[in-house]
Amino acid sequence: MKNHTEIKALVFDVFGTIVDWRSGVAREAQSFLNRHAPGLNAFDFADAWRREYSPSMEEVRSGRRPYVRLDVLNRENLVSVLTHYGIVDVPDPEIDELNLAWHRLDPWPDAVAALCSLKRKFIIAPLSNGNIRLMVDIAKRVGLPWDAILGAEVARAYKPSPQVYSETVDILGLAPPELCLVAAHNSDLAAARQLGLTTAFVARPTEHGPHQRTDLKAEAAWDFVVDDLNELAQQLGCAD
């Protein structure tokens, strides 16, 4: 375990690390699917929508497309997925409403209490690919006590592009090791470490459902490796 006395701020991946997007999207999509595609499993639908996430951001990361916020990408991806399933002629307001599923995700059970503890000692903020309004809506609905909303929209780039991490370090006025990224994804942590950030892996072995095969454990010697965020709070001297 790394000496943590130099850490001044913690930033968090959100989708998968703080919130359970799969259960939330499935729950929010259920009534829509009941109306438009009664045979379709809501978890399969959530997984299909989520599969479009990385490729759509890659258009921006590669420079082929200027930065647009995730709400826009999510909506485009939703239309693709609906078309794929043969769900057509859905009125725009209904698509807009379903797109807000991502604004109504529930946190993992440990998240709110642990963030409240960590906030007493550190600056805490999301470092998500989600846009600011999306992050604010999630936080207000369930009480995530962020000090600021950082991430893709503030940096105008998508993780794991290096400028998202370096711009965040700069905004917070820190040296890179003073900023710790907390994430359930080894690739996110690897990108942060490249820029000199401190890294903390939290296991979320059911983010992708019961048959998840990726990110089941730390794949490098991250500075902290924990089973949940309360364990991280303890290791950082913030336990209640």
Q: Of the two residues 100 and 113, which places its CB atom closer to a copy of itself in the complex? A: 100
Q: How many CA atoms lie within 13 A of 164 on its CB side?
A: 29
Collapsed DSSP state (helix, strand, coil) of residue 179: strand
Q: Of the two residues 13 and 178, which places its CB atom closer to a copy of itself in the complex? A: 178
Residues in contact with a copy of itself by CB under 8 A are 71, 123, 131-133, 135-136, 139-140, 146-150, 153-154, 171-173
Helix (H) or strand (E) segment spanning residue 200? strand 198-202
Q: Of the two residues 58 and 96, which places its CB atom closer to a copy of itself in the complex? A: 96
Angle among Cα 122, 166, 182 to the nearest 5 degrees reads 45
For the bound state, the minimum distance from the C-beta of residue 157 to a copy of itself, rounded and expressed in Å, comes to: 14
ω into 160 cis (within 30 of 0): yes
For the bound state, the minimum distance from the C-beta of residue 213 to a copy of itself, rounded and expressed in Å, comes to: 35
For the bound state, the minimum distance from the C-beta of residue 85 to a copy of itself, rounded and expressed in Å, comes to: 27
Q: Of the two residues 13 and 71, which places its CB atom closer to a copy of itself in the complex? A: 71
For the bound state, the minimum distance from the C-beta of residue 133 to a copy of itself, rounded and expressed in Å, comes to: 5
CB-based contacts of 36, cutoff 8 Å, min separation 6 = 87, 90
ω into 176 cis (within 30 of 0): no
